[in-house]
Amino acid sequence: MQAIEETHFNFIGQTGFYKGKVRDVYYFDDKMALVATDRISAFDVVLPKGIPDKGRILNQIAAINLTATKDIVPNWVLSTPDPNVTIGFKCEPFAVEMVVRGYLAGHAAREYKAGKRKICGVSLPEGLKENDPLPHPIITPTTKAKVGHDEDISREDILAKNIVSEADYKILEDYTLKLFARGSELAAKRGLILVDTKYEFGKHDGKIYLIDEVHTPDSSRYFYKEGYEARQNAGEAQKQLSKEFVRQWLIENGFQGKDGQRVPEMTNDIVKSISERYQELYYQMTGEKLRPVDYAKIEERIEQSIVKSLN
């Protein structure tokens, strides 16, 4: 099994390069070419092995959802010339991620279980069980850390510290809730429930744009709609469609990204099983099976797609 763990292109006219957790970004003045690699991260840590097909799966799902939401908010994308590549214009990102939750799950459920009834300044009612729906979707922002972990932050602190102006933040809140409503509608058509997700925004020529990926299994958590109520009433775990299965495997093996903890061994069987889950995610979200590709020529294909697109 092969995976694209990193790229090392050197394009004519290239003005910069940035290696993110899972993407390689090539800059060309005011444009950028984002290469979705097969690196995988969890708990803000890049795991030691890539997952075959992961990059192209997420890039294609993001492209579908960016197209399906551009009537709500403009986005940064100019073209998607390759399954692993997105070309767009550079935006100055806001230093917060807009996390929106419709259910008590994941990080919010862990905080609630620990006794907290307020997350990011938002109060939660008593008597909730893990994976219960919230009375209404809530926004629980996080800081956008360049190094280390993102941290929960309240609306009040964002404004008090002038991380985002109040005028801009009101727009971000409005876009976030509208996008979540659209994402929920799209999920329902696929037999899914959009549980929580995150959105990132930036500015270009003074205008706010949606950036990064949208409604992918890496940036979002989904439950299967069929059987949700029965499982919830029986106190059973929900059947999920997200990267949570990777986090759970890490937790079960003693890793949550904390100091002194070591990532468990990623055997070939583990890598294969994660890759198969991503293929399942792709089928569930698109209704199509993932087509095989020739990994021997994939980097050449990616490089040529960027050159042709920019020319």
Tens of pLDDT, residues 66-103: 999 999 999 999 999 999 999 999 999 999 999 999 99
Residue 121 in domain = yes
Per-residue pLDDT for 196 more than 90? yes
Residue 163 in domain = yes
**Cα separations (Å) of 254 from 228, 270, 289?**
29, 16, 34
Average pLDDT, the chain: 93
Report phi then psi at 309, rounded to 5.
Answer: -65, -40
Question: Distance between CA 255 and CA 249 in Å, rounded?
Answer: 9
**Least confident span in 120-124, 125-129, 139-143, 218-222:** 218-222
Residue 109 in domain = yes
The two tokens of residue 220 are 């979002």
Q: Could you tell me the pTM of the whole model?
A: 0.89
**155 and 176 in contact (C-beta within 8 Å)?**
no
Q: Which pLDDT belongs to residue 149?
A: 62
Mean pLDDT along residues 177-185: 97
Mean pLDDT along residues 179-199: 96
Residue 76 in domain = no
The two tokens of residue 249 are 């495997």
Q: What is the pLDDT of residues 129-165, one digit of tens each?
A: 999 999 999 999 999 866 556 789 999 999 999 999 9
Residue 188 in domain = yes
Residue 54 in domain = no
Nearest to 21 by CA among 148, 114, 141: 148
Per-residue pLDDT for 246 more than 70? yes
Top-confidence range, 163-177, 212-226, 297-311: 163-177
* Element (DSSP H or E) covering residue 297: none
Q: Which pLDDT belongs to residue 148?
A: 55
Mean pLDDT along residues 296-305: 92
Question: Distance between CA 159 and CA 99 in Å, rounded?
Answer: 16
The two tokens of residue 89 are 């214009």
Mean pLDDT along residues 235-263: 90
Mean pLDDT along residues 3-27: 95
Cβ within 8 Å of residue 273, ≥6 positions away: none
Which residue do the tokens 């925004």 mark? 201
CATH code of the domain in which 207 resides? 3.30.470.20
Which has more confidence, 3 or 295?
A: 3
* Element (DSSP H or E) covering residue 200: strand 192-204
| Range(s) of the domain holding residue 237 | 93-245
Q: What is the pLDDT of residues 35-70, one digit of tens each?
A: 999 999 988 899 999 999 999 999 999 999 999 999
In this structure, which long-range contacts are made by residues 298-305, counting pairs with CB atoms below 8 Å and at least 24 apart in sequence?
298/4, 298/84, 299/4, 299/7, 301/82, 302/4, 302/7, 302/9, 302/35, 302/82, 302/84, 302/85, 303/9, 305/81, 305/82, 305/85
Residue 296 in domain = no
Residue 67 in domain = no
Question: Based on the structure, what is the number of domains in the chain?
Answer: 1
